[in-house]
Structure 1
Amino acid sequence: MAFNLLNNILNESLIVTKQISNACVISVTELKVKAKTPNMFIRSDEIAIIKNAFDDPKTVREEGNKISLMDVQYSAVRADSRSVYAKSESKGGFLAVKTKIYYIIATYDKQQQPGIAVEAIERLGMIK
């Protein structure tokens, strides 16, 4: 998919809810950013941590491994082979959904509603 189309999908599916601050789409095979919102910055080491969270969700869940994104440390509250949710004491939360070809990643701030953010990212993750 073209970068602009994926950016439009992020904006129309996630950002429009006003419950997600930043989002990006990463290729599962290439581990490269394919689309992102303007203020989303993700490093390759952060992508690797997210990939590992999906590869070994039990460890992330049981050991409370930290997930770092944009210099914020998040603690996992849910992790399985399809979704990872984490929260930060100071910043809000982190959400990630894995599809066959993409990781969809989003953050929300403390004043935003996590339930609405989860619903939006999970719905987007189901689109084929």
Structure 2
Amino acid sequence: MAATLILAQAALAGAGAHAESTPAAGSRAAVAASAASAFASPDAARPGSASERAAAMDWQKALDDLANSGKVTWAAILDPSGAVRVATPGPGLRPGEGPAAVKAYNNPANVFSSGLTLWGVKFFGIKADERSIYLKKGATGAAVVRTAQSAIVAHYDETKQPGPAYDAVEKAADRVIPQGF
């Protein structure tokens, strides 16, 4: 941050030196002044608005709580387009899997006939409605639970029980929905 502040101050000094000699200098000076004022606040240097950062922290807490429950192996929270907002360590969703999971809510019954591929594994639907999609393949499975602004996707392996895994994902969704997430 100190290096960025020094660069902003140098830009201000340079813009001021040329302000009278070039017609575009006024606009450069305005941009440099704007950059300098942005660095006056420590929060301004971080990407996104304060509300976006707070929401990201809430998403991360919800995901951490789910992961720490011991009921799932991996989990991710998807935005409405299916892009990953936050994810636990482990294999990530492959390209196209997040959008496919979100799109499955357009016609949840298709999950019974077509299945859904997540983490490179094709799962078969065992429950699908407007809120929850439960998937299974052998002793492993996954859940996709819709919230107000996203979907929580979680995987359980053969060392976990399906019922508690599905319940943990549902409870994670129940905790964030009242917050508008």
TM-score interval, smaller chain: 0.7 to 0.9
Residue 121 in 1 paired to residue 169 in 2?
A: yes
| Secondary structure in structure 1 of the residue aligned to 2:109 | helix
In structure 1, the residue matched to 2:119 is: 70
Runs of 5+ in structure 1 lacking a partner? none
- Please show how residues 72-91 of structure 1 align to structure 2 within 5 Å: 72-89=121-138
Q: Is the 8 A contact 1:10 1:36 kept in 2?
A: yes
- Size of the aligned set, in residue pairs, is 123
Is contact 1:53-1:79 (8 Å) kept?
Answer: no
- CA distance in 1 between counterparts of 2:110 and 2:58 reads 35
In structure 1, the residue matched to 2:87 is: 36
Alignment partner, residue 71 of structure 2 = 19
SS at match of 1:101: coil
CA contact 1:78–1:84 (8 Å) conserved in 2: yes
Aligned position for 1:10: 63
Q: In 1, distance between residues paired with 2:67 and 2:98?
A: 21
Larger radius of gyration: 2
Letter in 1 for 2:125: A
1:7-61 per-position Cα deviation (integer Å, ceiling 9, x unaligned) = 232111x112212000000111x43211100114113411122122211012223
State whether residues 93 and 120 of structure 2, in contact with CA within 8 Å, keep that contact through their aligned partners in structure 1: no
Q: Give the whole-Å Cα distance in 2 for the aligned partners of 1:106 and 1:31.
A: 14
Q: TM-score, normalised by structure 1?
A: 0.86
Of all paired residues, the percent bearing the same amino acid is 26
**2:96 aligned partner:** 45
- Counterparts of 1:23 and 1:33 in 2: how far apart (Å)? 10
Tell me the TM-score normalised to structure 2 length.
0.63
Q: Distance in 2 between matches of 1:58 and 1:70?
A: 21
**How many Å separate the matches in 2 of 1:120 and 1:40?**
20
**Runs of 4+ residues over 4 Å off in structure 1:** none
Relative contact order, higher structure (CA 8 A, sep 6+): 1
Structure 2: stretches of 5+ with no match in the other structure: 1-51
> Structure 1 residues 24, 40: closer, same or farther in 2, change over 3 A?
farther
